[in-house]
Amino acid sequence: MKNPYNPIGAKIVKIEKISSINKLFTIKIKDEKTRNAFKFRHGQFFILSVPGFGEAPFGFCSSPAIKETFQVSVDKRGSLTSKLFELKVGTDVGIRGPYGNGFNRKKIKSRDLVLVAGGCGLSPLRTIIQDANLNPKNFQNIQVFYGCRNSKLLAFKSDYKKWSKNIEMNLTVDTPDKAWKNSVGVVTNLLTSETIKSDSVAILVGPPVMYKFVIQKLVELGLSNEDIYISLERRMHCGIGVCQHCALVGGKYICTDGPLFSYAEIKDTPEGI
Ligand SMILES: Cc1cc2nc3c(=O)[nH]c(=O)nc-3n(C[C@H](O)[C@H](O)[C@H](O)COP(=O)(O)OP(=O)(O)OC[C@H]3O[C@@H](n4cnc5c(N)ncnc54)[C@H](O)[C@@H]3O)c2cc1C
Ligand code: FES
């Protein structure tokens, strides 16, 4: 019987520094047949392992339309991510997945999208943004609202000009420096009846503190609970609904039923958000 915890052999083929605390790793599955069969959807995640150091879940952050490699953006937090920051191009790693439900494909392509990101939350949304830049005809109107504590922490800064050709980029920081020319304050301030259409679909990825206020604002602006999606993050171990680490009250698992939930699904779940 196939062991679901056996990682697929892969290699780091590129490493880029994205912000003061974040690096972007480009990963290639070594075996050609396995690589060609490996497919993921927007918003899914995988488990990355470094032999001898352990494993952790990460969201895909490149377009699923790019087949040969995929990318993951990693924030340095603790033991595994610190080890990842020391690795060099050419190092072998392991991957398991793809896991999770991912974003609703039909809604993503057929509806206007409001993508709200805080901090490192921009990276799973980059799968959509990059895809919309590669295939603009497959998408409707996309608005990105992205907030960080300061401009040094903004991820993928060098891409904004390119993205802005097909996507509306709205940026804000809590603490501006002298060169900052965009908005100042929390991301919620950017969401108004002038900027947001009430029949849009919203996807929120960021710290839990952001969710409460952004959801409240979007509901006030007329978006339905079924059209507001939140990506939930918890400590995970198995990624396949076995270990109970990510179980929510009510019997849902973030790793298999999520990580993406509509507000309608999650609003009455204790400690869901
Ligand atoms: C579905 C999913 C997708 C994710 N996608 C990404 C991604 O794209 N990029 C990224 O950088 N990180 C992502 N994470 C978080 C990532 O898994 C953790 O940062 C990683 O496990 C930390 O491992 P570590 O060994 O470096 O830290 P540890 O040594 O295990 O912990 C260091 C500190 O970070 C805290 N911490 C660890 N994991 C989490 C967590 N999941 N939530 C909150 N606090 C945590 C610990 O409590 C501790 O304070 C994702 C998590 C999930 C569940
Ligand atoms: S991570 Fe084990 S049940 Fe979800």
Q: Which ligand is nearest to the CA of 259?
A: 1
253 lines ligand 1 (CB under 6 A): no
Q: Which ligand 1 atom minimizes the distance to the CA of 82? A: 26
Q: Which of 99, 117, 150 is the last residue of a domain?
A: 99
Each residue of 89-117: pLDDT tens digit? 999 999 999 999 998 888 888 999 999 99
**What is the distance in A from the centroid of ligand 1 to the CA of 56?**
7
Apex 46 CA angle, 41 and 50, nearest 5: 150
Task: Write down the pTM of the prediction.
Answer: 0.94
Containing 214, the helix (H) or strand (E) segment is: helix 208-220
The pLDDT of residue 55 is 95
Asked whether 253 lines ligand 2 (CB < 6 A), one says yes
Tell me the per-residue pLDDT of 209-251, one tens digit each, with 9 for 90 and over: 999 999 999 999 999 999 999 999 988 999 999 999 999 988 8
> Could you read off the pLDDT of 55-89 as tens digits, one per residue?
999 999 999 999 999 999 999 999 999 999 999 99
Mean pLDDT of 48-54: 93
Distance 91 CA to ligand 1 centre (A): 21
Whether 109 and 70 map to the same domain: the answer is no
* Per-residue pLDDT tens over the stretch 168-220: 999 999 999 999 999 999 999 999 999 999 999 999 999 989 999 999 999 99
User: What CATH number did the domain enclosing 64 receive?
Assistant: 2.40.30.10
Count of structural domains within the chain: 2
The percentage of residues in the chain with a pLDDT greater than 70, rounded to a whole number, is 100
Q: Note whether 47 and 255 are within 8 A (CB).
A: no
In a domain, 238, yes or no: no
The answer to the question of residue 250 being in a domain is no
Domain end (from 45, 65, 99): 99
Given this model, what pLDDT does residue 250 score? 84
Is the pLDDT assigned to residue 2 strictly greater than 90? no
Which whole-number Å values give the CA distances from 197 to 174, 201, 202, 231, 262, in the listed order?
A: 25, 9, 10, 21, 18
Distance CA 142, CA 266 (A): 24
Residues 48 and 146 in one domain: no
DSSP letters for 65-92: T--S-EEEEEE--SHHHHHHHH--TT-E
**How much is the average pLDDT of 34-45?**
96
Is the Cβ atom of 208 under 6 angstroms away from ligand 1? no
